[in-house]
Amino acid sequence: MKVIVNADDLGLTAEANRAIRTCMEQGLVCQTTLVVNSEHTEEGAAIAHELGCEGRVGLHLNLSECRPLSLAISELPGYVSNGLLCHMPRFMDKATYGISPLLTYADAYRTPEFAQEVRAVREEVKAQVDRFCSLGFEPVHIDSHANQLVDLPVWLAARPVIEDAGFKTMRCTFDSFATDDLYNEAWRLWLADQRASAGLTCVGYSSSVPRFMRRRAELAAGPEAGQTIEIYVHPIEVDGVLIDNMTGGRRLDDDLAELEGIERTSFFELAELAG
C-alpha cells in the first residue's frame, strides 16, 4: 500500500499557510491543495513558489467559505449568505449525514431551479480554476472543501470545467463516510463511471489519519491492499505546534508517525503514470 498525504487549505488562513510551509519544508506531507478565494490566497501561493513545490499544488475548490469569485452564485441562498459562500452538502450535515444525493435531489433534479443552480455553480468553479492557473499552477489535481465535488449539482457543474482545464486526478471521498445502503452504492458506481469517462484518476480510499488507523487492518486485507490511498490533513500552527484542524486539534506529528513504514507518493506522480 502507498499513501498520499495531502495538506488541505493552503491559502485559507495565515495559520494554515504557516503550518503547511513547515509541513512541506519538513517533508511531512507529499503535496498540498490551494484555496483561491481567500484574502490569504496570494500568500499561500507565494509560499509554494518560494519553496519550489508548485508542481505539487492542486486546487482546493471552495464553496463554503470566503467570498465567491463570480456573481450568479450570490443569488443562490444555499451557496451564499451575507456575501460569503456557505454550501454544505446534505450528506455532510449532521442532521442528514450519509444520505445519498440520489435521494436528496430526486425531486429537484429536473426543475428549472436545479438547472439554474448548476449554471451558477459552474461559473464559480470556472472562476476558481482560472484564478488557480493565473497564480502559476498547472491544472493537474483537484479536490474540494467539505467534499463538495461529489455533491450532484457541484459535480454536474464542475465536470465540463475540469475536463476543459485538463485536470488529471481528483479526490473522491464519498466512500469514506457514506452509509452502506443501495442508494449510496448506486451513487458510488455512478460517480466512478463519471470520473472514468472524464479521464480522471482517483484513489480507492481517502480519509483522515484516525479513520485510516481504525480501518487499516480491514483495508490491508481488502481490495485496497497494494493500491494507493490518500490521507488528508488540515494543518495549522498554534504556539509553534502543528495540529490537524479537522480532527479536534490532534498533533500532526503524532498522527503522521502512525504512517511510518508506508511508502509515500502523490497524485502528481499518479498523473504522470497515467500519461
For residue 235, give the nearest of 225, 226, 245 by alpha carbon. Answer: 245
Q: What CATH number should be reported for the domain holding residue 84?
A: 3.20.20.370
> For residue 50, what are the domain limits?
2-274
d(CA 14, CA 237) in angstroms, rounded, equals 9
The reported pTM is 0.95
Helix (H) or strand (E) holding 227: none
Domain count, the chain: 1
Residue 181, helix vs strand vs coil = coil
C-alpha cell at 131: 484564478
pLDDT in tens, the chain (275 residues): 899 999 999 999 999 999 999 999 999 999 999 999 999 999 999 999 999 999 999 999 999 999 999 999 999 999 999 999 999 999 888 888 888 899 999 999 999 999 999 999 999 999 999 999 999 999 999 999 999 999 999 999 999 999 999 999 999 775 555 567 888 888 888 998 999 999 999 998 899 999 899 888 888 887 777 889 999 999 999 888 999 998 888 999 999 999 988 999 999 999 998 77
Question: What pLDDT was estimated at residue 174?
Answer: 59
Question: Given CA atoms 16, 161, 156, 223 in this order, what sign does their dihedral have?
Answer: negative
